[in-house]
Structure 1
Amino acid sequence: MTFFWVIVSGAAVGLIFDFYRSFRRWQGWGQVLTFIGDVLFSLVALFILFRFFERANALAFRFYIIWGCLLGLVLYLRLLSRFFVRFFFGIYRVMTYLAGIIHRGIMIPIRGIVLIMRLPYAILKWFSMLVYRIGEIFLLDVIIHTKRRLKRWWNSRIPPRTNG
């Protein structure tokens, strides 16, 4: 019974590896994310092996544990790996399809709001431009005139330069 759990632990690590490998390929991770993912996969694999080895023989280290774990990994990779990789990619395709449907469903009310708000936005834009132009006509002369008066006043306070 102990050897069975050790073989199952190797197969479980292989299954998690296929999931991680297919997910990484599906997402197209770069080097940094791949490194972080590899570290996380190693921690998850270590946890899985720890739990199975604890169940198998209370963490007593025996040489057959290594061979059994490798045997389970090889059996999984040879017999079941390609089916699970296809299964994972099928799940990813379904997830992508469902995400697209949800995205389109969310965009329907947003497009409706954009269509409804087009006229009020155009009126608001026209009105704000009108207010800006009116303010520019009335205030621009005042601002320019005030700036010239302040400049003259300031220059009258500064004594003239003497060369000498």
Structure 2
Amino acid sequence: MSVSLSVQWWTMMTMLLSGIGMGIVFDGYRVVSDELRISRIWVPVFDLLYWIAATIAVFQVLSSSNHGEVRFYVFLGLILGIGCYYWLFSRITVSLVKLLIRTVRAITGFVIKTFELLIIKPLILFYRLAKLLVAFFRAFTMFLFKIVVQLVRPFWLLLSWMTKPIWKPAFRWWDKRVNPIITKWRVADRLKAGASAAAGLWQRWKNRKDSNKEE
């Protein structure tokens, strides 16, 4: 299939621009990987991904310019574009990428410091202040409680002395009548035995239920 001269020149120009674009992307990738200190183990992987992406992009450009026909001038345009880029624009691109990285780092650092100054530090200060206030109110409450106990203690002693004729016979009656019955009938032991029996019945019923489910 013959291709017109204008299409050939247009394809060569697009390949030249593609070569320049490949050089820009490769230098940017190289500077970013150096700045981020990517491990050497991952460098071959990223290089392979770069060349795969570059090949796909060049093929897409070639398809849009001359329907994907590969001719000598295609490779010539790519080589001229890559050579032109590294001769004229490589240092400028590297400097611009480094400047961009420094700018992003400066903005990120400023945002982080602003966030710490306006959000984190006030929250920490509020937490410490709240903790101090809680400790103060707790100590103040204990102090008031002790004062109230000291003030109420004489009235409590007076009330206890005044009601002694009432509660003292009640305690004596309890010791003489109720305690012997509890000791004789072993109420506490029977309650423990009843609780153990109920627990045993509950466990048996649960085991039987589980066995019925398995069947």
Residue among 42, 46, 49 paired with 2:51: 42
Task: Report the Cα distance in structure 1 between the residues aligned to 2:72 and 2:64, rounded to whole angstroms.
Answer: 16
Instruction: Please state how far the C-alpha of 1:31 moved relative to its aligned partner.
Output: 1.9
Q: Secondary structure at the match of 1:2?
A: helix
TM-score scaled by length of structure 2: 0.54
Q: Are the aligned partners of 2:12 and 2:76 in contact in 1 as well (CA < 8 Å)?
A: no
**In 2: Cα distance, 1:20 partner to 1:66 partner:** 23
2:31 is equivalent to residue 51 of structure 1: no
Runs of 5+ in structure 1 lacking a partner? Answer: 128-164
Deviation digits for residues 89-135 of structure 1 (CA, Å, limit 9, x no counterpart): 001010000000110111121111111111434657xx8xxxxxxxx
- Please state if 1:112 is matched with 2:128: no
Q: Aligned residue for 2:106?
A: 97
The one-letter code sitting in structure 2 at the alignment partner of 1:68 is: G
User: Which residue number in structure 2 is paired with residue 134 of structure 1?
Assistant: none
The equivalent residue for 2:85 is 76
What's the C-alpha RMSD, in Å, of the aligned pairs? Answer: 1.7
User: What is the Cα deviation at residue 25 of structure 1?
Assistant: 1.0
Identity %: 24
More deviation in 47-56 or 8-17?
Answer: 47-56
The 8 Å contact of residues 16 and 78 in structure 2, kept in 1 or not, is answered as yes
Amino acid at match of 1:43: I
Superposed displacement of residue 47, structure 1 = 2.1
Residue-pair matches, total: 125
Question: In structure 1, what is the Cα distance between the partners aligned to 2:79 and 2:126?
Answer: 64
| TM-score normalised by L of structure 1 | 0.70
Greater gyration radius: 2
Residues of 1 paired with 2:52 and 2:80: CA distance? 21
Structure 2: 5+ residue stretches without partners: 1-9, 139-215
Q: What is aligned with 2:35? A: 26
Q: RCO greater where, 1 or 2, for CA within 8 Å and sep 6 or more?
A: 1
Instruction: Give every structure 1 segment of 4 or more consecutive aligned residues whose post-TM-superposition deviation is greater than 4 Å.
Output: none
Q: Decide whether the 8 Å contact of 1:6 with 1:65 is kept in 2.
A: yes
TM-aligned CA distance change 1:121 to 1:32, over 3 Å: farther
Partner of 1:87: 96
Distance 1:39 1:110 in 2: 43
Give 1:55 shift: 2.4
Q: Secondary structure at the match of 2:42?
A: helix
